[in-house]
Structure 1
Amino acid sequence: MVCSVTKDGFILSSAPNFRDLGGHRTESGRTVRPGLLFRSDALHSVSEEDLPAYNGLGIRQLIDLRTGHEREHLPDIVPEGAEYTVVGVQDPEKAGANFSRTLTDPEAARAMFGDGGAARFMDGVYRDLVHDTEALAGYRDLVERAAKGPTALVFHCSAGKDRTGWGAALILGLLGVERSVIVEDYLESNARQANTDKWMRLLSEHSGLAWEDVVPMTRVRAEYLQTAFEEADAVYGSFDTYVSDGLGVSGATLEALRERMLA
Structure 2
Amino acid sequence: MRRSQPLGVNVNPPIARSLTLVNETDLALATIHPDRQLSFEGAFNFRDLGGYTTVDGRMVKWRTLFRADAVHRLPDSELDQLAEIGLRTVIDLRTGSEVEEGHLHDPNRGITHVHLDVLGQVWKPSELDEDADARVVLSELYVHMLDIGAPALSEAFRTLAQSENLPAVFHCAAGKDRTGVLAAMVLSTIGVADHVIVADYAISGTNMAELIERLKRDRPEALTAMNDQPSAYLAAPPEAMDRLLAHVNSEYGSMTGYVKSIGIDSDVIEALASVLLD
- The answer to whether TM tops 0.5 is yes
Looking at structure 1, the residues matched to 154 and 226 of structure 2 have their Cα atoms a distance apart, in angstroms, of 34
2:49 maps to which residue? Answer: 21
Tell me, which stretches of 5 or more residues in structure 2 are unaligned?
Answer: 1-33, 216-220
How far residue 117 of structure 1 moved from its aligned partner, in angstroms, is: 6.5
SS at match of 2:185: helix
- 1:162-219 per-residue CA deviation (whole Å, 9 max, x = no partner) reads 11011111111111111111111111112222557758831355x5xxxxx7122211
Q: TM-score, normalised by structure 2?
A: 0.76
Report deviation, 1:78. Answer: 4.1
Corresponding residue SS for 1:85: strand
Find 1:124's aligned residue among 140, 143, 147: 140
1:236 equivalent in structure 2? 252
- Matched residues in 2 for 1:127 and 1:27: separation? 24
Could you say what secondary structure the match of 1:164 adopts?
Answer: helix
Q: Is 1:82 aligned with 2:111?
A: yes
Name the structure 2 match of 1:54: 82
Q: Deviations over 1:86-138 (max 9, x none)?
A: 01211x241x2x32xxx3xxxxx4xx423236555423311211222xx1111
Corresponding pairs, count: 235
Q: CA deviation at 1:36?
A: 1.0
* Aligned position for 2:97: 69
- In the alignment, is residue 255 of structure 1 matched against residue 270 of structure 2? yes
Please state how far the C-alpha of 1:31 moved relative to its aligned partner. 0.9
Matches within 5 A, 1:175-254: 175-193=190-208, 194-195=210-211, 198=215, 201-203=223-225, 205=227, 207=228, 214-245=230-261, 247-254=262-269
* C-alpha displacement of 1:28: 0.9
2:88 is aligned with what amino acid? R
> Which whole-Å CA distance do the structure 1 matches of 2:205 and 2:191 have between them?
24
- Higher mean alpha-carbon deviation, 230-239 vs 50-59, is at 230-239
RMSD: 2.5
Q: Report the Cα distance in structure 2 between the residues aligned to 1:260 and 1:204, rounded to whole angstroms.
A: 37
**% of aligned pairs identical?**
29
From the superposition, tell whether residues 49 and 238 of structure 1 become closer, same or farther in structure 2 (CA, over 3 Å). Answer: closer
Give the one of 55, 60, 64 matched to 1:32: 60
Aligned-partner Cα distance in 2 for 1:200–1:131: 32
Going from structure 1 to structure 2, the CA distance change for 1:204 and 1:173 (only over 3 Å counts) comes to closer
- Counterpart in 1 of 2:152? 138
Give the Cα–Cα distance (whole angstroms) in 2 for the partners of residues 259 and 227 of structure 1: 28
* Separation (CA, whole Å) in 2 of partners of 1:44 and 1:32: 26
Distance 1:204 1:32 in 2: 33
- Show the counterpart of 2:7: none
1:147 alignment counterpart: 161
- Asked if structure 2 preserves the Cα contact closer than 8 Å seen for 1:46 and 1:77, the reply is no
Cα 1:174/1:116, change in 2 over 3 Å: same
Q: Give the whole-Å Cα distance in 1 for the aligned partners of 2:226 and 2:179.
A: 23
Are the aligned partners of 1:37 and 1:152 in contact in 2 as well (CA < 8 Å)? Answer: yes
- Alpha-carbon deviation of 1:49? 4.0
State how far apart, in whole Å, the 1-side matches of 2:62 and 2:244 are: 26
Cα 1:119–1:26 change in 2 (3 A) is closer
Q: Which residue of 1 aligns with 2:182?
A: 167
Tell me the SS of whatever aligns to 2:152.
helix
